[in-house]
A and B are shown apart, each in its own frame.
Chain A
Amino acid sequence: MREHIKNNLMSFFIIVTLVNIAIFICGIVLAPDEKLGYTAFIVPVIDGLLGVIPGLVMYSKRELTVRQMIVRDIIQLLSIELIILVFTFGFSGFSNVDVSKFLAIVLSVAFVYVGVVVIMYLLDFRTAKKMTDDLKAFQKSNN
């Protein structure tokens, strides 16, 4: 459970960083002249919190098979898409939804999700390399 919370905390900070990048890219492309207020700074943090909720809710103590994990990841991505879209357009009742903005958000969420998976994998890869090095040292000392 402790590992799970640690992983989600790490995911949160990665999401916040990637959302900042996504806002920057979408802003440059879709609304380069728009000026943002101070509230814009809190959006990545809120998105980060919303983004980790499905992961926290869908935590399973069971060891999942690869297929189960892929299915869970797809459900998780769809849940995050839904949560972020409701958060963005839900307050206005989904009226006057700008299609380009809608698509930009859908793609950004997917980009952030894939980014988090890739970064977490790279961190695990570094951990695995350290474990292999420690293991070789252990084997050498026991030979």
Chain B
Amino acid sequence: MEIKVRKIGGQEQEYIEIGCHAEDARVKSIVRFVKGLDGSVSGSKGEHIYEIPVVDIFYIESVDDHTFIYTYKDSFETNLKLYEFEEILKEKGYLRISKSVILNLMKVDSIKPALNGRFLCKLTNGEDVIISRKYVAEFREFISRRAGA
């Protein structure tokens, strides 16, 4: 696939156009990725597809090869993989807190110790998610650096 980047004037709206023979899975994946960078991600619930603003997401979880997006009280399935979300959302205040969860730090109310060196994040919707041992050091380093920034 050839990639062209063309600079446009400041008064024109930025856009991305994909020239393709068919709107296959690869093209759809590119579209989802770009939408994520732009502030929303697609998720399905039943037969409907929704655009979910990144700021409304509480956390994203991978369960048995399926990825789910959790908002205040809803959940949506998505085709993007967790590592793709990690790439898209790393500059938007999201952080990996375990092998299967990426957390929106803006939705955390408080942190408490759990057993065995793990920590429990209480979210603003009352849900709890666990920061696993492996990710605790990275989490501490990230928020202490960003808190001082």
Contact = CB atoms under 8 A, between A and B. Distances in A.
Nearest to B140: A131
B30 interface: no
- Majority secondary structure of chain B interface residues (helix, strand, loop or mixed): mixed
Given A124-B119, A128-B119, A3 B147 contact: no
A127 to B, nearest CB: 7
Instruction: Please classify how large the interface on chain A is, using the bins under 10, 10 to 19, 20 to 34, 35 or more.
Output: 20 to 34
- Majority secondary structure of chain A interface residues (helix, strand, loop or mixed): helix
A8 B12 CA distance: 60
B80 interface: no
Given A124-B113, A125-B113, A135 B105 contact: yes
B56 to A, nearest CB: 15
A112 to B, nearest CB: 19
Instruction: Please classify how large the interface on chain B is, using the bins under 10, 10 to 19, 20 to 34, 35 or more.
Output: 20 to 34
Interface stretch (B1-9, B59-67, B131-139): B131-139
Contacts of A7: 117
Interface in B112-146: 112-113, 115-119, 130, 132-133, 136-137, 139-140, 143-144, 146
A93 to B, nearest CB: 38
B106 A142 contact: yes
Contact of B119 (A131, A133, A134): A131
The interface centre, meaning the residue of A7, A132, A133, A135 with most chain B CB atoms within 10 A of its CB, is A135
A143 B108 CA distance: 14
B110 interface: yes
Interface string A59-98: 0000110100100000000000000000000000000000
Given A124-B117, A132-B110, 10 more contacts: A3-B117, A3-B137, A128-B119, A131-B119, A132-B111, A135-B108, A135-B143, A137-B148, A138-B147, A142-B93
Interface of A: 3-4, 7, 63-64, 66, 69, 121, 124-125, 127-128, 130-135, 137-139, 141-143
